[in-house]
Structure 1
């Protein structure tokens, strides 16, 4: 593998519990029962892609702004790094390998979180949810990132935690390492490799690492 492409939420930082809590608040405020199966549909995907399925005809941009306004709500789970994530990003950079971030989140959020875990100066290529017409599980974000760093998709490995993210990476023709931070390992078994977190992952990965 020549290049490493990283998802953000759930892969480099543990924020999914926080994000899902915010989506629950939004649904409740609009009279929709936030049952688990419904809320989990947001995992790894852009809110603007999911909301029309759940609330047809609603003002999606207004709803996205509303959920973002909950960011400072007291009682939300803390944002913490995924173990080993920042170290892996540093190892990739130290080897001189191309790397990029491919996230469904807004660019400003991504830049702030990368800085918080100490790798903001290393991740210079970011494809955010604002940069693509269609979000994950569509592969366009990963394909855009591969093009920007100048590496064929087949020579890229993507690190993902969500089902939508794995589908996007594999549809782009990339190897995918699934990080079991937000899903049970058995749910992620279709990825090329499943790991509990990012600790101890060596770089570069070889085919033997993926067996």
Structure 2
């Protein structure tokens, strides 16, 4: 019986991060939501863009709050952290519903192209299910449905642990050799690589410096995915002749020797 070989040049699945990858959620969504929660709970913190930029190196919103509070000499109880989580979630969901959060360049276009081509598309995020669902609801008229969603509620450890990606690979049945992750952060890149996935990195503008030492681990790095009139710039990896990430470009990345 002849041996069937996997065509690794045909893309099987794309696993998408959410915050900073699908949409610009951080500066106009999460950051002001945290600030509103801090004010409501009489906590002495205000996160401006420069500070929040630095804090983004800490994966996980509540861990970010806890460590920042400790650095300021404030010990928050578990009850206080739970209050911050609940109030921040409320304000974030409201901001998404009000249209403060927008898709990043090229995301809508690429999602639609991959959907038409029958490529599986999954979300793998360290955010909670509620935050993800309201975001998808907001954009449901613009983007196709995802084949599956893995959030922080589904795994014991968030990024940079690979748990989310490993679970998505298991649920999707996709072969890691013929799949890619799309990420924007060092933690996300580490998680994808630890799960055996090649990773296309589109760093958020405010996170580019923090990612400098991680670029060598990514299969390619672009400033964004590209749209008509808004060409993508390759920062590392294979050249992108069309100045936009397409299915063809992603399949080109599958043939790049893994690092």
**Taking structure 2 as the reference length, what is the TM-score of the superposition?**
0.68
Q: Of 113, 125, 129, which aligns to 2:148? A: 125
CA RMSD of aligned residues (A): 3.0
Q: Describe the SS at the equivalent of 1:180.
A: coil
Separation in structure 2 between the aligned mates of residue 3 and residue 184 of structure 1, nearest angstrom? 26
Pick 1 or 2: higher relative contact order, CA cutoff 8 A, min separation 6: 1
Report how far residue 90 of structure 1 moved.
1.4
Deviations, residues 9-63 of structure 1 (Å, cap 9, x unaligned): 2111111112223334555742246474566334683323434444554333222
Q: Name 1:196's counterpart in structure 2.
A: 223
Between stretches 190-199 and 112-121, larger displacement belongs to 112-121
Count of matched residue pairs: 209
Residue 185 (structure 2) aligns with: 162
Rg: which structure is higher?
2
Structure 2 residue 168 is matched with structure 1 residue 145: yes
TM-score (norm 1): 0.82
Task: Give 1:1-211 correspondences, 5 Å limit.
Answer: 1-18=11-28, 19-26=30-37, 29-32=42-45, 34=47, 36=50, 40-42=54-56, 45-55=59-69, 57-59=77-79, 60-71=81-92, 72=94, 78-117=100-139, 118=141, 121-182=144-205, 183-184=207-208, 187=212, 189-190=215-216, 191-199=218-226, 200-203=244-247, 204-207=250-253
The 3 A distance-change label for structure 1 pair 153 and 134 is same
Is the 8 Å Cα contact of residues 180 and 197 (structure 2) preserved in structure 1?
A: yes
Unaligned runs of 5+ residues in structure 2 are 1-10, 70-74, 227-243
